[in-house]
Chains A and B, each alone.
Chain A
């Protein structure tokens, strides 16, 4: 239960790690956990003030948790009695309940920070220790008609963890965090049996001890759980080598109100009708609790190398990524950041200690902008990560750089690449900094065929800017995107979007309207409803349009059969 103690209750990540503007007005990142921790970021303030029209003088600190404002726990006594008899730990303390009442959508964090709290929170939390505990809890929940909401790492960004306000039954948050063991490792088949509550970083650490890894690294891997990955169809940044979650999973055990569902063997592929795993992958906690998963593992790669390429503009970058995908030579990870994100990355450069480094930096900049004639307001950067044995990595690297050169790309060094990937983990902390200074921010993603990538990026950004203007946002919003994954037939695009909300009566509502419009624009431009975040409650309204009436009916009929009494009543997806 210590996890909850080292985590923020009203923001992202660890309590000790956060961005702040110190007394000198300089930005720094506190704590010791990240490479950026303890460093001064001299250019962040300027970037922040210029981009958002915000001022670091206008600070807004969030209130502390007000337990009194919480709706009282609506407990089911009979259920409580039977649960006590099983010996499975549970709690109905206020902070335990609030902690599991939300994910990390803007409206959720905003509500917490404004001290408004939520209309409905779980009435109690329970911590099963193993598969059998979960079976018992679900049986009891069925018996007493109690609503169960599975909770893994709590990193949802789709409102999936929110309790439906109209739910009158007792809501039990089923926290899987105690089911965090690796049950066995099978080195002959390179698979491991893992309990679904394990957190990404623990899984990697434990496997690494034995010389293995899963290679599944979503940006949230520090906090998200294996069960959550399965339930949302997660995607890892190194999917080009290891695959997305659906490629990694060999066997799933899931507890549903109808009983336990699992396959009878661990064959690598089966032709036994539609794959039942796919009912569970992406079910978002509506059908049951994933308790154990057999997952592929790989030996830790011998060699790893970062890299980066500068392109004169985003169009050239996209063309290069498309070519890389066409030749099927994508490195473990390849990401293309647009100019806004490139500038943002620059703002996060730590203070350089030696004059020499700053001299070299200056020289590089001169070379790229003056000698090569790249426009600093147009250029964009691709970051690369290669993995494998040394020789092959070097060969691979050359191949990719050769392709990049054809599109006007210049190799820009390992450092820039590595910094790009470190930023992935700290960027989530920045939203909290923004909220301290009246700036709201959010990210969203989509997948789209190659030929529409550029049009989609341009139109969505433009739509956001226009919608903000129409809704009275005073300062032009920051809109930025990056191509984060490449596929044979398309790419995954990730958007960041932030604006200064001073002068708006209801910033969250404005924000939601703009995001809604942006999603409409994505769909109109041939993008998907979601690539890996999922649907939750945030995007439910588009499901019918996305998968057709019949498709939705299919999913509904599964839900009806598996969970006729809506025990898993988080009301996601359908």
Chain B
């Protein structure tokens, strides 16, 4: 296995997985998060006895594969400027990256971090000393800020002082689902190559997967509208209590460095940059823009593909489709079934070999006992403490927290199933089994969900073929002439896949419904999220809706982005307020199409 489990806390289950982890056993005993934080700050390097680092290194380097990966990275750093692109799920990502690179004697990166981290006393300083520089979350109009910032990054690259590290997703993903990439920074790091200032730039996709995320319930609350606490050191110190819990292991996977030069070959005409002095900033051409976007998606997909998935992720997916709970034995059986399906779709699954599956399931349940409870052989989600005096809203809120927390695990496996799942929905919704009709439906769904999932714009045909291939391979569908037919064996697979997207389909429909029924003309952008939330709460309390995920502000934002993109809703600037103008007819037809009540018509798409 190509993962490097560098840091894993006191989990007896994981001790004997393979040689490589046993080698780290010693280290694990003597290390904790505090240690990681301490030794990663450069000022404190001197305090460390060098032999410790060496010892660790020589021990870990006994793994040939690891040595190979690290060598490759080392070589890439020496040859060309390197940009490290880790996935972003937790605050820990910064610390981990620097810790690992330091441990392996690689050049420490300079990190583009959000401005909010700077506000943290001491930690902000520490981040800065270790090479982080802070950027404002948004600097739309500020040309000077942009100029200074991009020049700084480019100088770093050109001179090859240190690798650059930033997060393509822009911010931590609260849902554990990869966010659609932001291309601003990627544009900046590619420019020196386009302008010939460096021979090549290498992008290194890095996947950091957590068995349990520190911020787990924090994220769920945030998504439900509890404001995010301001990053502060005292907050971090208070959070130490959390650290005493068991969080399982963290996997860091360094992907193959990707050379921009070879990606850009025949795609970007660098001569375009010849006619204007290179220091004058210019808007990238369409061609360049689409190349950068394409690359960004490609990298995020590489990150996704190398995310290590734990058995719990499979279980969470099943539990979410059975909110009322299910028998432990049934859960075990279904988890095993899903494991097979996931593997046939190419999931990077970390399933402990030589361990009875019942034990795997029970240890996963133990690790996540904050989310699930087992009573009387039945497994169900924890629904918050039923303390006497709770209003229905509060009960709903508690329930939603555990559903969203659980969803954050299911979301980790979505990238594996997303294409087949969309196809499954398309087959279900399409008026007939004709291939082109299914495709129409498929491409409609891709358009609808392109803010929700990583679906590279322009790759729809490819995605469709990939989905068909995977479902045919698993024996779930057959393609007969121009028809796509579900086999008997495939029913369960397709219904699982349908179920996977059910909450998204419902969620988007609720948002559409809100726009049709409730939204007034003067709805501002700011009012949108609370308004949709209370609309959904009403529906749930009235018993008309069972989907809790629609309460997630992430889904609400994505749905709005989709409606805006498809032109069903438009932004109008009135005075200094941005209001949303709704085309009810269009929203209505989108809602019906999503629900499968209206066939995907070419006309509808064309109008959209």
A462 at the interface (CB under 8 A from B): yes
B273 to chain A: closest residue by CB: A526
Docked pose: A462 CA to B197 CA in angstroms: 13
Interface segment out of the listed A80-88, A435-443, A450-458: A450-458
B197 to chain A: closest residue by CB: A455
Could you say which of B196, B271, B278 contacts A545, with CB atoms under 8 Å apart? B271
Sort A-B residue pairs by CB-CB distance and give the 6 closest, nearest first. Answer: A524-B270, A525-B196, A526-B274, A462-B199, A455-B196, A459-B199
On whether A459 and B196 interact (CB within 8 A), knowing A451-B277, A451-B278, the answer reads yes
24 contacts between A and B (CB under 8 A): A451-B277, A451-B278, A452-B196, A452-B278, A455-B196, A455-B197, A456-B196, A458-B199, A459-B196, A459-B199, A462-B199, A463-B199, A523-B271, A524-B196, A524-B269, A524-B270, A524-B271, A525-B196, A525-B270, A526-B196, A526-B271, A526-B273, A526-B274, A545-B271
Query: Number of contacting residues on A, CB 8 A?
Result: 13
Chain B contacts for A523, CB-based, 8 A: 271
A452 to chain B: closest residue by CB: B196
Query: Number of contacting residues on B, CB 8 A?
Result: 10
Which chain B residues in 171-214 approach chain A with CB under 8 Å?
Answer: 196-197, 199
Beyond contacts A451-B277, A451-B278: 12 other A-B pairs, Cβ-Cβ < 8 A, are A452-B196, A452-B278, A455-B196, A458-B199, A459-B199, A462-B199, A523-B271, A524-B269, A524-B270, A525-B196, A526-B196, A526-B271
What's the least CB distance linking B66 to chain A, in Å?
Answer: 27
Which chain B residues in 247-284 approach chain A with CB under 8 Å?
Answer: 269-271, 273-274, 277-278
Chain B contacts for A524, CB-based, 8 A: 196, 269-271
Chain A contacts for B270, CB-based, 8 A: 524-525
Chain A contacts for B269, CB-based, 8 A: 524
A546 to chain B: closest residue by CB: B271
Interface centre among B197, B199, B277, B278 (most CB of A within 10 A): B199
Docked pose: A456 CA to B271 CA in angstroms: 12
Docked pose: A368 CA to B273 CA in angstroms: 40
Counted as pairs of residues, one from A and one from B, with CB atoms less than 8 Å apart, the total is 24
Docked pose: A524 CA to B269 CA in angstroms: 7
Q: List B residues at the A interface (Cβ < 8 Å).
A: 196-197, 199, 269-271, 273-274, 277-278
Chain B contacts for A525, CB-based, 8 A: 196, 270
Q: List A residues at the B interface (Cβ < 8 Å).
A: 451-452, 455-456, 458-459, 462-463, 523-526, 545
Chain B contacts for A451, CB-based, 8 A: 277-278
A461 to chain B: closest residue by CB: B199
Chain A contacts for B277, CB-based, 8 A: 451
Chain B contacts for A459, CB-based, 8 A: 196, 199
Chain A contacts for B197, CB-based, 8 A: 455
Docked pose: A420 CA to B273 CA in angstroms: 35
What's the least CB distance linking A457 to chain B, in Å?
Answer: 11
B278 to chain A: closest residue by CB: A451
Chain B contacts for A455, CB-based, 8 A: 196-197
Docked pose: A525 CA to B195 CA in angstroms: 7
What's the least CB distance linking A460 to chain B, in Å?
Answer: 10
Docked pose: A198 CA to B274 CA in angstroms: 39
Chain B contacts for A462, CB-based, 8 A: 199
Docked pose: A525 CA to B199 CA in angstroms: 10
Docked pose: A523 CA to B269 CA in angstroms: 10
What's the least CB distance linking A550 to chain B, in Å?
Answer: 16
Docked pose: A245 CA to B493 CA in angstroms: 78
What's the least CB distance linking B232 to chain A, in Å?
Answer: 45
Docked pose: A530 CA to B271 CA in angstroms: 15
Chain B contacts for A458, CB-based, 8 A: 199
B270 to chain A: closest residue by CB: A524
Chain A contacts for B199, CB-based, 8 A: 458-459, 462-463
Chain A contacts for B273, CB-based, 8 A: 526
Docked pose: A451 CA to B197 CA in angstroms: 10
Chain A contacts for B196, CB-based, 8 A: 452, 455-456, 459, 524-526
What's the least CB distance linking A519 to chain B, in Å?
Answer: 12
A454 to chain B: closest residue by CB: B197
Chain A contacts for B278, CB-based, 8 A: 451-452
Docked pose: A458 CA to B269 CA in angstroms: 19
Docked pose: A526 CA to B197 CA in angstroms: 11
Docked pose: A524 CA to B199 CA in angstroms: 11
B274 to chain A: closest residue by CB: A526
Docked pose: A266 CA to B197 CA in angstroms: 47
What's the least CB distance linking B198 to chain A, in Å?
Answer: 8
B272 to chain A: closest residue by CB: A524
Docked pose: A452 CA to B274 CA in angstroms: 10
Docked pose: A452 CA to B277 CA in angstroms: 10
What's the least CB distance linking B49 to chain A, in Å?
Answer: 36
What's the least CB distance linking B193 to chain A, in Å?
Answer: 10
What's the least CB distance linking B284 to chain A, in Å?
Answer: 16
A524 to chain B: closest residue by CB: B270
Chain B contacts for A456, CB-based, 8 A: 196
Interface centre among B269, B270, B273, B274 (most CB of A within 10 A): B274
What's the least CB distance linking B394 to chain A, in Å?
Answer: 63
B279 to chain A: closest residue by CB: A451
Interface centre among B196, B273, B274, B277 (most CB of A within 10 A): B196
What's the least CB distance linking A513 to chain B, in Å?
Answer: 14
Docked pose: A451 CA to B273 CA in angstroms: 13
What's the least CB distance linking B138 to chain A, in Å?
Answer: 33
What's the least CB distance linking A543 to chain B, in Å?
Answer: 14
Chain B contacts for A452, CB-based, 8 A: 196, 278
Docked pose: A523 CA to B274 CA in angstroms: 9
B158 to chain A: closest residue by CB: A455
What's the least CB distance linking B490 to chain A, in Å?
Answer: 45
Docked pose: A463 CA to B196 CA in angstroms: 12
Docked pose: A525 CA to B274 CA in angstroms: 7
A463 to chain B: closest residue by CB: B199
A455 to chain B: closest residue by CB: B196
Docked pose: A452 CA to B279 CA in angstroms: 12
B79 to chain A: closest residue by CB: A462
What's the least CB distance linking B269 to chain A, in Å?
Answer: 8
Chain B contacts for A545, CB-based, 8 A: 271
What's the least CB distance linking B30 to chain A, in Å?
Answer: 44
Docked pose: A118 CA to B53 CA in angstroms: 66
Interface centre among B269, B271, B273 (most CB of A within 10 A): B271
Interface centre among A451, A455, A458, A524 (most CB of B within 10 A): A524
Chain B contacts for A463, CB-based, 8 A: 199
What's the least CB distance linking A455 to chain B, in Å?
Answer: 5
Docked pose: A463 CA to B199 CA in angstroms: 8
Docked pose: A48 CA to B277 CA in angstroms: 41
What's the least CB distance linking A16 to chain B, in Å?
Answer: 44
What's the least CB distance linking A89 to chain B, in Å?
Answer: 48
Docked pose: A525 CA to B270 CA in angstroms: 7
Chain A contacts for B271, CB-based, 8 A: 523-524, 526, 545
What's the least CB distance linking A456 to chain B, in Å?
Answer: 7
Interface centre among B197, B269, B277 (most CB of A within 10 A): B197
What's the least CB distance linking A449 to chain B, in Å?
Answer: 8
Chain A contacts for B274, CB-based, 8 A: 526
What's the least CB distance linking B262 to chain A, in Å?
Answer: 10
What's the least CB distance linking B271 to chain A, in Å?
Answer: 6
B265 to chain A: closest residue by CB: A520
What's the least CB distance linking A450 to chain B, in Å?
Answer: 11
A462 to chain B: closest residue by CB: B199
Docked pose: A285 CA to B271 CA in angstroms: 29
What's the least CB distance linking B35 to chain A, in Å?
Answer: 42
What's the least CB distance linking B458 to chain A, in Å?
Answer: 25
What's the least CB distance linking B266 to chain A, in Å?
Answer: 10
Docked pose: A526 CA to B274 CA in angstroms: 5
Docked pose: A455 CA to B273 CA in angstroms: 14
What's the least CB distance linking B181 to chain A, in Å?
Answer: 26
What's the least CB distance linking B456 to chain A, in Å?
Answer: 26
Docked pose: A463 CA to B80 CA in angstroms: 13
What's the least CB distance linking B288 to chain A, in Å?
Answer: 13
Docked pose: A138 CA to B191 CA in angstroms: 54
What's the least CB distance linking B263 to chain A, in Å?
Answer: 15
What's the least CB distance linking A122 to chain B, in Å?
Answer: 37
What's the least CB distance linking B291 to chain A, in Å?
Answer: 14
